[in-house]
Amino acid sequence: MIHFEGVSKVYEGQTALANATFSVERGEMLFITGPSGAGKSTLLKLIYHAVAPEEGSITINGQRTDSMRARHIPALRRNIGVVFQDFRLLSGRTIYENVALAMRIRDAAEAQVKAQVMETLKMVGLRHKADAYPDALSGGEQQRVVIARAIVADPIIVLADEPTGNLDPVTAAGIMRIFKDINSRGTTIVIATHNKDLYANTGRRVLRLDSGAIAGEDRG
């Protein structure tokens, strides 16, 4: 589903990812871990093409994306749901509208939007906040809105960047149950996290990054 071959990303002299080669199978759930600044977010950004690599090839769902034409990028991104590390909620729109956006971009019918948005908000425990604006939510509530937006449109890949950084252990476990659930229905999931609890005893693959290099791989 996702294949990196010798991929490197350099920001103005700062190497964020160096010669990374790895694959994620369809329907897999992969964890990425490593110290602060190791390149986890960069790796995810390369998948949804927020940044392009300096070297190497990236294949997503059978399609080469590293040197993709700009006009094909939106279609690629519509296949991917992203939990951004910095949230990226639109402050001028309600929680409902923020989550609905992911479906509107995909031209979903209004009735379907409403049903699916409300159901997803219920899953993350925020149905009662549908009409609030992001500023009126706690940090953890905002993070759950971002998670809802990432999964609401049933993308074939979900990328989650530190999705539980602002969540208490109980809520975090709830979110992980949701991820496991959609994963079991076939969605490929990649989670970048520092939180060992998320992958401990799951038996899932864990990729360790250090200073931009893949430093090892084991099972949680």
Partner 1 sequence: MTPYHFKSALAGLWKEKWINLLSTLSIAVGLFITTVGLLVVYNVNSIAQKLPDKFSITVYLKDGISQADTQRLQNTIRSNEYVRKISYISKEDALRDLKDSLKDSAYVLEGIDNNPLPASFSIKLRKDYVDPAKVKRFAGQIKAMRGVDDIQYGEQFLSSIQSIMSGARLAGLLFLGALLVGVLFVCYSTVKILFYRKADEVETLKLLGATGWFIRMPFLLEGSLMGFFGGLAAFLAGYGVFDVFLAGFSSSVPAIGYFLVPSALLLSLPAAGLFIGFSGALIALGRIRS
Q: Where do contacts with Mg ion occur on this chain (CB under 5 A)?
A: 41, 85, 138-139
Q: Is residue 195 part of the contact set for ligand ATP (CB under 6 A)?
A: no
Token pair of 155 as six digits = 């993308």
Residue 72 binds to a copy of itself (criterion: CB under 8 A): no
The entry of partner 1, Mg ion, ligand ATP, none near residue 116 (CB within 5 to 8 angstroms by kind) is none
d(CA 82, CA 86): 11
Is residue 9 within 8 Å of residue 51, measured between CB atoms? yes
Q: Which residues contact 159 (CB under 8 A, 6 or more apart)?
A: 44, 47, 48, 80, 81, 82, 83, 150, 189, 190, 191, 192
Report the candidate in 121, 139, 143, 123 with the shortest Cα–Cα distance to residue 131. 121
Which residues of the shown chain bind partner 1 in the complex (CB under 8 A)? 48-50, 70-71, 73-80, 82, 84, 88, 90, 92-93, 97, 101-102, 104-106, 110, 149
Residues making contact with ligand ATP (CB under 6 A)? 11-12, 14, 16, 34, 36-42, 85, 135-141, 166
Residues found near a copy of itself in the complex (CB under 8 A): 11-12, 33-37, 40-41, 85-86, 136, 138-141, 144, 161-162, 165-172, 194, 196
